Amino acid sequence: MKLQEYAEYLAKRSPVVWIEGVPWNVYRSILQPLSPPHQPIKIDRAQLRDALRRTKARLARWSEGWDTPPCGWWHVCCDDREYDLAKLSRNRRRSIKKALRSVEVRMVDRPWFNENGYEVFAASFEHYGPGAVKMTREQFVQAGRNAAECPGYEIWGAFIEGKMVAYMTCLVLEDMVEVIINKWMYEYRSANPNDALEYTLTRHYLVERGVRYVTTGRRVVHHETNVQESDLTFGYRRVYCHLRLEMSALAALVLRSGVATWGKYVGLWNLAPHTMRNIQAVKSLVDIARSSSNAAVDR
């Protein structure tokens, strides 16, 4: 799918702003470019600040440079065009082979998934904690119908005895693929369906379709997770780049207040944990961006 098509799809449901020929969209109150992260972009700070005001995003975030020396910002990617089981560690090979003996992995079409995917989706929330809110079946089906308008979404299912027990949704954009959703039924974890899924789709895109890379996303700062560490055992690696930010006036004011530091001493983490987590995540991003603000960038 071309970038223009993706921007047009998203623009039907949320604001898309164009800056120096690149579409940007707001995700979780962060304005970010829709283009693949390895593609260099031009930045007009005045246009960016205007876009922040118009979209009411709290900050703008983008990556600069690609595959730089190690730093505090990265995307987890696999770009081995000869990707194969033999290249993985002994333990990971064993777990994938075990999974592939009982798990069938295949791509599923959107209409079938809309009718049959909710059970896996709902089951995955059983282990997300009390604050997790899942969609109803009707909302799930409607979201699937909306997504069907985007030709870049591809869904992979893991099946045990004909029953789908896990799935991953990928976005195929330009010359890269991003894994954007992974849901599974916890009761089938011993069969390692996610191992079968990740290995099979990674090999498919890299070896059979020849994309530049498959990514499972950028560094996570909003919450703790070991998922990205697990991805590294599947032949993925950290592709380093430099984090750049433009803050909204409100976000800058909140950070200058120091609430991320003194808030824990006056009980704000207990009173407003979600808000404080967001503030701490923004502070972490600012610290990462500052650490590489003077770094040389290879384009």
Centroid of chain to Cα 286: 20
pLDDT category of residue 297 using cuts at 50, 70 and 90: very low
Residue 200 and residue 208 in contact, taking contact as beta carbons nearer than 8 Å: no
Residue 270 and residue 290 in contact, taking contact as beta carbons nearer than 8 Å: no
Task: Flag whether pLDDT at 296 surpasses 50.
Answer: no
Q: What is the pLDDT, as a whole number, of residue 85?
A: 96
**Residues whose CB is less than 8 angstroms from the CB of residue 163 and which lie 6 or more positions away in sequence, other chains included:** none
Closest by CA to 140, choosing from 159, 158, 167, is: 167
Q: What is the pLDDT, as a whole number, of residue 38?
A: 96
Q: What angle do CA 237, 240, 241 make, to 5 degrees?
A: 150
Q: What is the pLDDT, as a whole number, of residue 224?
A: 56
- Counting beta carbons within 10 angstroms of the beta carbon of residue 238, is it exposed (0 to 12), middle (13 to 18) or buried (19 or more)? middle
Task: Flag whether pLDDT at 25 surpasses 60.
Answer: yes
Q: What is the pLDDT, as a whole number, of residue 299?
A: 36
Percent over 70 (pLDDT), the chain: 91
CA distance 171 to 173: 6
Q: What is the pLDDT, as a whole number, of residue 293?
A: 61
H or E element that contains 238: strand 237-240
pLDDT tens column, 206-230: 999 999 999 999 998 865 567 788 9
Q: What is the pLDDT, as a whole number, of residue 83?
A: 97
Task: Flag whether pLDDT at 23 surpasses 80.
Answer: yes
Give how far Cα 57 sits from Cα of 9, 15, 219, 248, 250, Å: 20, 11, 20, 7, 10
Q: What is the DSSP letter of 232?
A: H
**Domain 76-240, CATH number (from 3.40.630.30, 3.20.20.105, 3.30.70.141, 3.90.870.10):** 3.40.630.30
Q: What is the pLDDT, as a whole number, of residue 7?
A: 96
For 229, phi then psi, to 5°, come to -65, -40
Give how far Cα 2 sits from Cα of 7, 34, 110, 176, Å: 9, 11, 20, 11
- Would you list the domain boundaries of the chain? 3-73+241-291, 76-240
pLDDT tens column, 39-90: 999 999 999 999 999 999 999 999 999 999 999 999 999 999 999 999 999 9
Centroid of chain to Cα 224: 14
> What value does the mean pLDDT take over residues 167-180?
97
Sign of CA dihedral 221, 222, 228, 229: positive
Q: What is the pLDDT, as a whole number, of residue 130?
A: 60
